[in-house]
Structure 1
Amino acid sequence: MLQTIIVAAGEGESQNPLLPAAYDIIWSLVCFVVILFFFWRLVLPRMKKLLDERSAAIEGNIEKADAAQKEAEAALEEYTAQLADARAEAAKIREQARTDAQRIGSEIQAQAQADAERVKSNAQVAIEADRQAALVSLRSEVGTLAIDLASGVIGESLSDDKKATALVDRFLADLEASGSAGADTSGKK
């Protein structure tokens, strides 16, 4: 076996073992050119088309995203403006409601005051009427009692109505005069 290696080494001295034979290089070059031609004509254009489509899709999506972001910002600004308008309108409505409530409260208070004054004046009129009725009733009863008492003291009947009425009126006038004089002196203390 060693001998075959030595013989093969002796024969191969003319040819470099690192370089292939010329026919291998030519056929490899032909195959490479054919494969390169098909790659250049078929595969490369498809790859370029695919990459261009992908690039266009990415750019389109970026543009769509930018447009959507601009629309969102515009919608946000519009929403913010509408919200500010709504808040201003709500504040205006609240202020108007407060003003209306104060006005209505003032009107109700004025009406209640007027009603109270009317009730007070009606009560005063009714009290005055009751006082007058009580005074008339009291005069007649006091007059009757006074005449009966005077008849009992004198011992004779005082049946003359005019005379009895005059006597009762004079007696009551004296009582009123003495009552008002007593009120003046008690009020000064």
Structure 2
Amino acid sequence: MGILIPGSAQTIVGVVTFAVVFLCMTKVLLPRINKVLDERKDAIEGQVERAEQLATEAGEVLAAYREELAEARHEAARLRQEASEQGAQLIAEIRAEGLREREAMIVEAQARLAADRVIAETELRGDIASLATELAGRVVGEPLEGVADSEIVDRFFSDLDARSSAGLH
């Protein structure tokens, strides 16, 4: 027999050894390997389920975040609008108050001007009467002191007032 062809004793020992190793593999190692594979499969499936659950929760959180963000934007827009309206109202109130103050100042100034005009007119009439009397006295050559208080001066100013009123209107 050649080196490549074993003898019958070697073949029987090889077949028995193969059978023992095969039985050990199928009875001891294969169940352990299958058990480890099943555990890994369960772990992977559990991780997939947890990942799906986490993805669902993340989606819910994202939707809640987007909803809160939309509400916050709406609230900010409402607050901006409200502030704008309040600002416009304040500007209108300040403008109205300024107009009231301006009108009050105008009325007060007009009253003051009218009073000053009356005072100035009264003073000027007195001065004009005394100057006219003095000038008439120089022209005539006699003092005309008593004439200044007379009805002639009053009548002159009345005529002057009537002419200025007729000319203005």
Q: TM-score by structure 1 length?
A: 0.79
Corresponding position of 2:164 = 179
The whole-number CA distance in structure 1 between the counterparts of 2:167 and 2:105 is 33
The whole-number CA distance in structure 1 between the counterparts of 2:137 and 2:162 is 25
Corresponding position of 2:155 = 170
For 1:29, the aligned partner's letter is V
Corresponding position of 2:128 = 142
CA offsets 1:113-140 (integer angstroms, 9 cap, x no match): 1111101101101111111111112111
CA RMSD of aligned residues (A): 2.3
CA offsets 1:75-121 (integer angstroms, 9 cap, x no match): 11001100110111111111111221221121111111111110110
The whole-number CA distance in structure 2 between the counterparts of 1:152 and 1:24 is 177
Count, aligned residues: 168
For 2:160, the aligned partner's letter is L
> 1:147–1:158: 8 Å Cα contact kept in structure 2?
yes
Aligned counterpart for 1:77 among listed residues 51, 57, 63? 63
Q: CA deviation at 1:20?
A: 5.9
Q: CA deviation at 1:19?
A: 8.1
Corresponding position of 1:127 = 113
The whole-number CA distance in structure 2 between the counterparts of 1:152 and 1:34 is 168
> 1:146–1:168: 8 Å Cα contact kept in structure 2?
no
**Higher RCO by CA contacts (8 Å cutoff, separation 6 or greater):** 1
Q: Secondary structure at the match of 1:156?
A: coil
Q: Which runs of 5+ in 1 are unaligned?
A: 1-7, 9-17, 185-189
Identical-residue share of aligned pairs (%) = 39
The whole-number CA distance in structure 2 between the counterparts of 1:130 and 1:155 is 36
The whole-number CA distance in structure 2 between the counterparts of 1:132 and 1:181 is 19
